[in-house]
């Protein structure tokens, strides 16, 4: 079953209206206060203190505390006489219960602000814990969707330790509902951090497979934003910068994790991609990936990397011009190529990069019996919100999921 003419009209009308709103300054789209460069994490406590904050909750995970990545932050907080509490129980793909536990830690500690330290999971947990602090009568489930966070969060300082999610600048957070096995996106400008730290030294210890999949996650953000129909103002420029930086640096960062320049460039690329998609939005790569993650706990970056070329293939001519432009922007040899060949070449380069970094062509473990539910939930997430180049129907979505899972 493809998309009916009426459904197409409703989706496109919704997206047009939303684009007009996102193109205004109604949501105060200023960039966060940014600290960047090697060692910039040590400057964060001074920034926190300048805001009159005396106690912070650090939201992170035990993997990062075990690696002692936060030691310099602890030291400088103590030197600045700022009290801190640590919540390091963040789970991969944080659940509603996990977020409530972080909120309780904030309230018990008498905290005044939150430092989110880590990858996408600590960022999402910190954002939604802050949203619950500010909105005690609104459950996480009621925040699901668009513009459901009523009151502003406590001050939020974001310190990414992976170059992928761009969560330090986005309006999005994703929570896993363990009861329904769904990943539930919450989208609201109030979730954006006011302050961010891009310190490449914090990413030096990332394993190669995390470097690759988080980097491809950032590429997905940039590509989906650029080829979608809701680009506004500077989102195209941010997306172009991100694509160029990723293709120039991801393999170096993957092969030589101690290369500070490549690490720094990947962090900036992730930041740019986040700035692009937080206004221009994503597409079916994310809609399908979120729901595969909800069903099978597939790591988000891995899902994005595997799914992206299949969805770009599906868009076909609808995305051809934009993908051809990205082929040129990435700096690949375009001598004698037609627009169609460049578009196909861009998708081929994604598959090439995936293969070179050990990312598989398919996601294992997808069950045929789950395909209809995954497709239904993916389309519920994607339509009418995501301004994709080509709308997808139920049968088309199921066929794509079968391709991704290599189901015969």
- Which of the four CATH numbers 1.10.8.50, 3.30.1490.190, 1.20.1090.10, 1.20.1250.20 does domain 5-23+206-405 have? 1.20.1090.10
**Which residues are registered as beta bridge partners of 55?**
83
pLDDT of residue 77: 97
404 phi/psi in degrees, rounded to 5: -60, -40
Q: Could you tell me where the DSSP H helices lie in 26-119?
A: 44-50, 62-66, 71-79, 96-108
- pLDDT per position as a tens digit, 52-95: 999 999 999 999 999 999 999 999 999 999 999 999 999 988 99
**CB contact at 8 A, 40 and 9:** no
Predicted local confidence at residue 26, as pLDDT: 63
Domain ranges of the chain: 5-23+206-405, 33-203
Tell me, which fold does domain 33-203 have in CATH?
A: Rossmann fold (3.40.50)
pLDDT in tens, 375-407: 999 999 999 999 999 999 999 999 999 999 999
Q: Which two tokens stand for residue 31?
A: 């960039």
Residues ≥6 apart with Cβ < 8 Å to 393? 1, 2, 3, 379
Neighbouring CB atoms inside 10 A of 249's CB total 22
- State the DSSP string of 97-152: HHHHHHHHHHHHTT-SEEEEEESHHHHHHHHHHHHHHH-TTS-HHHH-EES---SP
Q: Which pLDDT score, from 0 to 100, does residue 179 have?
A: 87
Residues of the chain short of pLDDT 70, as ranges, are: 1, 25-28
Instruction: Let me know: does 219 contact 254? Beta carbons within 8 Å.
Output: no
- Residues 335 and 383: their CA atoms lie apart, in Å, by 38
The whole-number pLDDT of residue 1 equals 64
Whether the bond between 384 and the residue before it is cis, its omega within 30 degrees of 0, is yes
Note the pLDDT of residue 186.
Answer: 94
**What is the pLDDT at residue 377?**
95
**pLDDT for the residue 258:** 96
């Amino acid at each position: 079953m493809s998309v009916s003419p009426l459904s197409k009209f409703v989706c496109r009308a919704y997206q047009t209206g939303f684009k007009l709103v996102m193109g205004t300054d109604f949501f105060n789209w200023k960039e966060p206060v940014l600290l960047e460069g090697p060692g910039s994490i040590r400057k964060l406590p001074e920034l926190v203190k300048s805001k009159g904050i005396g106690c912070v909750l650090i939201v992170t995970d035990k993997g990062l505390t075990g690696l002692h990545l936060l030691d310099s932050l602890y030291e400088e907080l103590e030197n600045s006489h700022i009290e801190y509490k640590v919540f390091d129980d963040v789970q991969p793909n944080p659940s509603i219960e996990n977020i409530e536990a972080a909120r309780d830690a904030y309230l018990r500690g008498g905290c005044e602000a939150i430092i989110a330290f880590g990858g996408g999971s600590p960022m999402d947990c910190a954002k939604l814990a802050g949203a619950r602090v500010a909105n005690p009568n609104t459950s996480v489930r009621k925040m699901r969707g668009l513009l459901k966070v009523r009151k502003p969060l406590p001050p939020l300082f974001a310190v990414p330790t992976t170059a992928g999610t761009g969560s330090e600048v986005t309006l999005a957070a994703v929570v896993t509902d363990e009861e329904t096995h769904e990943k539930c996106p919450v989208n609201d400008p109030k979730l954006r951090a006011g302050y961010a730290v891009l310190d490449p030294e914090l990413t030096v210890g990332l394993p190669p497979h995390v470097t690759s999949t988080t980097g491809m996650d950032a590429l997905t953000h940039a590509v989906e934003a650029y080829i979608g129909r809701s680009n506004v103002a500077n989102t195209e420029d941010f997306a172009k910068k991100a694509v160029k930086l990723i293709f120039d640096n991801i393999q170096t960062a993957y092969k030589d994790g101690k290369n500070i320049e490549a690490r720094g460039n990947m962090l900036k690329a992730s930041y740019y991609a986040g700035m692009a998609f937080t206004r221009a939005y994503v597409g079916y790569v994310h809609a399908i990936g979120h729901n595969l993650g909800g069903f099978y706990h597939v790591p988000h970056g891995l899902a994005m990397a595997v799914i992206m070329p299949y969805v770009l293939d599906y868009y076909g001519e609808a995305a051809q011009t934009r993908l051809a432009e990205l082929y040129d922007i990435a700096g690949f040899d375009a001598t004698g190529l037609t627009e169609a060949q460049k578009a196909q070449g861009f998708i081929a380069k994604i598959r090439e990069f995936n293969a070179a970094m050990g990312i598989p062509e398919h996601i294992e473990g997808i069950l045929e019996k789950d395909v209809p539910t995954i497709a239904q939930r993916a389309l519920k997430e994607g339509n009418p919100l995501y301004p994709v180049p080509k709308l997808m129907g139920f049968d088309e979505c199921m066929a794509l999921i079968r391709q991704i899972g290599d189901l015969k």
